[in-house]
């Protein structure tokens, strides 16, 4: 069934491309005219107002003059206050060169800028995107309209990451090996976790990471035990080296999709990280009563899977089954487990911190608990509502505005 | 002073032929200025011209208006020039000078400087006139203006102003302070604009502030105005 959905999604993409190929945009040029910042006018204090400032008539008149002078037809206009301009659309007569008209307009002192009106088409997207639990449950595409994790650095302390996968090419800013003196090795688990966090979006292959514009540090502190098996081992020394390096690099998020016994050295390093407001995300080990270390360590964002067995930790819940992600090489596959639920939450935290870089752990906790703010906060573990979290931090409408803001009390925008 | 400003405006116009020029004509049921009527509660016609040089931030303009002072029919001539700097999409600051005089037996000429800010639709300014309406004493005036788009072409606006007259007012035995307020709604149908507002003032009477308004002019008034821009 899932493969049928993937095929249907691919067919839809092909169909959309074909439809756009048939669209032929008329030759038009976009002409931008500057808008003065609000200021006193002759009649101010007498009988005028800013909402109905009359100066747009001046720009409309200039646009008409330009159209007449260059033999164009004024067909539309739209204010773009974010750029401080009004944009006028002008149709180019047959026989005129779009390039010549654009250059002439650009050199006109009355014009802020001019450019041809160009046709765009949607790209292939990520064929497996529709299968991602975060695509449907977290409304990932809608979240990405507001935040993509830009300028947030995530340290993935795991086994090696293969950047040869097209979804990871260019997504990893640095790879370091803390396992041995040998070279960095691409491995399964690290590559799978990396894809969930930062896989390239809209590149026509594979998946979209939760935070596709975050910067990933792939710190290899674990090693794969057997070919073809993602099971990997680490030790406190390799992990400590990797944590130390992450602290040196001033990362904002550390993803630890691993578990083991409590360790003093690692606890001290985590204390430093937490004191710097680094978000430490740890995967809950469902086979251990307390969820295992570091998930059980106070201050760590412990993440459990939806289908994990009940446990006593104050864990956050994220999708953990049938998650498509990257494999070494140009391959993808479905994975299951809390490692990947933690990776999803690391990506989500990157989205939130991109919106509010200086957010405190308390603010982050409140955002993740946004959906449970109406009397359900005592329930543990807590399922994360990514839309509500982003809405709370961004103070903007996300996903289904009505649903998101019914629990937030945020004005719909 | 008036000649200097006019010459400066001519130089500015000549310096850049591609300024954005806006003209507007207004008919108002009353000419309310800082809470007083400069038209003796009678209708007024106004003609305004604004020039913008958006790439540089400079602006200038002028206005003519029919007034009724002392109480004789007269005309007001006003010119202004200033500079505005946009710090962000939402925030800008400005400063400039405005000069006003009237025809008739008394010119009541005066100049004032101003500085202000605009944050989205909220506009605040402080004005200082060293010889307000040629009365020989300085006046400070501060104002806040706000407007919000309602549905369609409708919008609402509000204004609050606070004036302080310097100098000796002991002979009047009244306050040297005066406040004025305006609230209203507007209908913007470019290039036309219709506004209806309620205007009121409190505090020092017109004579204390030096306004040449006719005796008996009201403090409260509804004002309807229609403007046409080109």
Is A12 domain-assigned?
no
Among residues A116, A147, A163, the one where a domain terminates is A116
- Give chain A's domain count: 2
Q: Could you give the angle at which helices A338-355 and A361-368 cross, rounded to 10 degrees? A: 110
User: Does A112 share its domain with A166?
Assistant: no
User: Does A80 share its domain with A140?
Assistant: no
User: Does A104 share its domain with A81?
Assistant: yes
User: Does A69 share its domain with A160?
Assistant: no
Q: Which residues of A touch B85 (CB under 8 A)?
A: 37
Is A7 domain-assigned?
no
What's the pLDDT tens digit per position in A314-368? 799 999 888 999 999 999 999 888 999 999 999 999 999 999 988 899 999 999 9
Instruction: Decide: helix, strand or coil at residue A130.
Output: helix
Cα gap A259→A221, rounded to integer Å? 13
Among residues A94, A116, A138, the one where a domain terminates is A116
Q: Which residues of A touch B190 (CB under 8 A)?
A: 52, 54, 56-57
Domain containing B191 equals 2-229
Label the pairing between strands A172-177 and A222-226: unpaired
Domain containing A383 equals 129-406
**CATH code assigned at A196:** 3.40.50.200
User: Does A104 share its domain with A169?
Assistant: no
Three-class SS of B102-157:
ECCCCCCCEEEEEEEEEECCEEEEEEEECCHHHCCCCEEEEEEEEEEECCCCEEEE
Is A6 domain-assigned?
no
User: Does A206 share its domain with A331?
Assistant: yes
Give A262 or A211, the one with higher predicted confidence: A211
What's the pLDDT tens digit per position in B19-56? 888 899 999 999 999 988 888 889 999 999 999 998 89
The CA-atom distances, in angstroms, between A104 and each of A85, A112, B17 are 19, 12, 18
* Tens of pLDDT, residue by residue, chain B (230 residues): 556 555 655 555 555 556 888 899 999 999 999 988 888 889 999 999 999 998 899 999 999 999 988 778 899 999 999 999 988 767 999 999 999 999 987 889 999 999 999 998 899 999 999 999 998 899 999 999 998 888 778 999 999 999 998 877 777 667 789 999 999 999 988 888 899 999 999 988 888 888 887 666 788 999 999 999 88
A76 to chain B, minimum CA–CA distance in Å? 15
User: Does A94 share its domain with A218?
Assistant: no
Would you please indicate which residues of A are annotated as catalytic (active-site) residues? 158, 189, 339
From the CB of residue A328, how many other CB atoms can be counted at a distance below 10 Å? 20
Among the partner-chain residues B55, B78, B118, the one whose CB lies closest to the CB of A42 is: B78
Q: What percent of chain A has pLDDT over 70?
A: 80
Contact of A172 with A331, CB cutoff 8 Å: no
Q: Which residues of B touch A54 (CB under 8 A)?
A: 22, 24, 50, 190-191, 193, 227, 229
Among residues A116, A142, A157, the one where a domain terminates is A116
Q: Specify which residues B185 forms β-bridges with.
A: B156, B196
Q: Name the strand (E) or helix (H) holding A266.
A: helix A264-275
Locate B97 and state its tokens. Answer: 């000078």
Cα torsion A359, A362, A367, A371 to 10°: value is 180
User: Does A138 share its domain with A184?
Assistant: yes
Q: What is the DSSP letter of A359?
A: -
- Give chain B's domain count: 1
Contact of B222 with B183, CB cutoff 8 Å: no
**CATH code assigned at B140:** 2.40.160.40
What's the pLDDT tens digit per position in A87-107? 788 988 888 888 899 999 999
User: Does A247 share its domain with A112?
Assistant: no
CB contact under 8 Å between A84 and B85, yes or no, is no
Locate A285 and state its tokens. Answer: 């080990």
User: Does A78 share its domain with A139?
Assistant: no
Cα gap A87→A81, rounded to integer Å? 10
pLDDT at site A38: 86
B159 to chain A, minimum CA–CA distance in Å? 9
Q: Name the strand (E) or helix (H) holding A18.
A: helix A2-21
pLDDT at site A410: 36
Is A75 domain-assigned?
yes
Over residues A127-145, the mean pLDDT reads 83
User: Does A294 share its domain with A317?
Assistant: yes
Q: Is the pLDDT of residue A119 over 70?
A: no
Is A20 domain-assigned?
no
Which class for B55: exposed (0-12), middle (13-18), buried (19 or more C-beta within 10 A)? middle
Nearest partner of B180 among B209, B216, B137, B150, judged by Cα: B209
User: Does A71 share its domain with A185?
Assistant: no
From the CB of residue A182, how many other CB atoms can be counted at a distance below 10 Å? 8
B174 to chain A, minimum CA–CA distance in Å? 25
Among the partner-chain residues A36, A43, A84, the one whose CB lies closest to the CB of B26 is: A43
Q: Which residues of B touch A46 (CB under 8 A)?
A: 31-33, 46, 63, 65
**A309 φ/ψ sector (left φ>0, alpha ψ -120 to 50, else beta):** beta
């Amino acid at each position: 069934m899932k493969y049928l959905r993937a095929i249907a999604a691919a067919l839809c993409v092909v169909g959309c491309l074909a439809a756009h190929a048939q669209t032929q945009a008329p030759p038009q040029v976009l002409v931008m005219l500057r808008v003065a910042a609000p200021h006193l006018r002759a009649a101010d204090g007498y009988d005028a107002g800013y909402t109905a400032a009359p100066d747009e008539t001046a720009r409309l008149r200039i646009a008409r003059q330009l159209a007449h002078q260059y033999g164009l037809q004024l067909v539309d206009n739209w204010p773009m206050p974010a750029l401080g301009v009004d944009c006028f659309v002008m149709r180019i007569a047959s026989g005129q060169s779009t390039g010549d008209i654009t250059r002439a307009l650009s050199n006109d002192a009355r014009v802020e800028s001019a450019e041809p009106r160009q046709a765009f088409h949607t790209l292939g997207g990520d064929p497996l995107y529709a299968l991602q639990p975060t695509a449907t449950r977290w409304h990932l595409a809608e979240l990405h309209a507001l935040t993509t994790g830009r300028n947030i650095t995530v340290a993935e302390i795991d086994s090696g990451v293969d950047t040869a996968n097209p979804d990871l090419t260019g997504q990893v800013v640095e790879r370091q090996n803390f396992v041995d003196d040998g070279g960095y090795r691409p491995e399964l688990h690290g590559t799978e976790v990396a894809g969930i966090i930062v896989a390239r979006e809209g590149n026509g292959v594979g998946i979209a990471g939760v935070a596709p514009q975050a910067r990933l540090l792939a710190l290899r502190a674990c090693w794969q035990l057997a070919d073809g098996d993602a099971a990997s081992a680490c030790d406190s020394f390799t992990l400590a080296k990797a944590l130390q390096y992450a602290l040196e690099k001033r990362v904002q998020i550390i993803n630890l999709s691993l578990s083991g016994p409590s360790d003093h050295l690692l606890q001290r390093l985590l204390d430093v990280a937490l004191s710097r407001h680094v978000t430490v995300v740890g995967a809950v080990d469902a086979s251990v009563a307390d969820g295992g270390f570091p998930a059980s360590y106070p201050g760590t964002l412990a993440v459990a899977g939806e289908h994990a067995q009940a446990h006593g930790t104050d864990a956050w819940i994220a999708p953990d089954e049938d998650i498509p992600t990257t494999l070494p090489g140009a391959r993808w596959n479905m994975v299951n487990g809390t490692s990947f639920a933690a990776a999803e939450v690391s990506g989500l935290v990157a989205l939130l911190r991109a919106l509010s870089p200086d957010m405190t752990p308390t603010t982050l906790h409140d955002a993740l608990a946004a959906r449970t703010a109406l009397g359900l906060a005592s329930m543990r573990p807590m399922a994360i509502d990514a839309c509500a979290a982003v809405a709370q931090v961004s103070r903007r409408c996300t996903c289904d505005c009505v649903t998101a803001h019914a629990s937030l009390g945020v004005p719909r925008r | 002073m008036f000649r200097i400003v006019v010459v400066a405006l001519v130089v500015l116009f000549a310096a850049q032929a591609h300024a954005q020029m806006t003209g507007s004509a207004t008919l108002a049921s009353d000419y309310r200025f800082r809470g007083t009527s400069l038209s003796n509660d009678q209708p007024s016609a106004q003609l305004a011209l604004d020039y913008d040089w958006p790439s540089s931030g400079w602006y200038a303009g002028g206005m003519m208006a029919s007034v009724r002072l002392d109480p004789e029919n007269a005309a007001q001539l006003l010119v202004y020039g200033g500079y505005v700097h946009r710090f962000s999409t939402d925030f800008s600051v400005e400063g400039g000078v405005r000069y006003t005089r009237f025809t008739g037996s008394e010119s009541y000429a005066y100049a004032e400087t101003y500085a202000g800010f605009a944050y989205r639709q909220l506009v605040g300014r402080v004005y200082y006139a060293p010889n307000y309406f040629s009365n020989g004493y300085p006046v400070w005036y501060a104002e806040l203006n706000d407007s919000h788009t309602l549905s369609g072409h409708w919008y609402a606006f509000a204004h609050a102003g606070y004036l302080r007259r310097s100098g000796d007012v002991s002979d009047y035995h009244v306050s040297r302070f005066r406040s004025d307020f305006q609230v209203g709604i507007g209908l913007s149908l470019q290039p036309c604009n219709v506004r209806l507002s309620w205007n009121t003032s409190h505090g020092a009477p017109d004579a204390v502030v030096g306004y040449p308004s006719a005796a008996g002019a009201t403090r409260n008034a509804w004002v309807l105005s229609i403007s046409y821009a080109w």
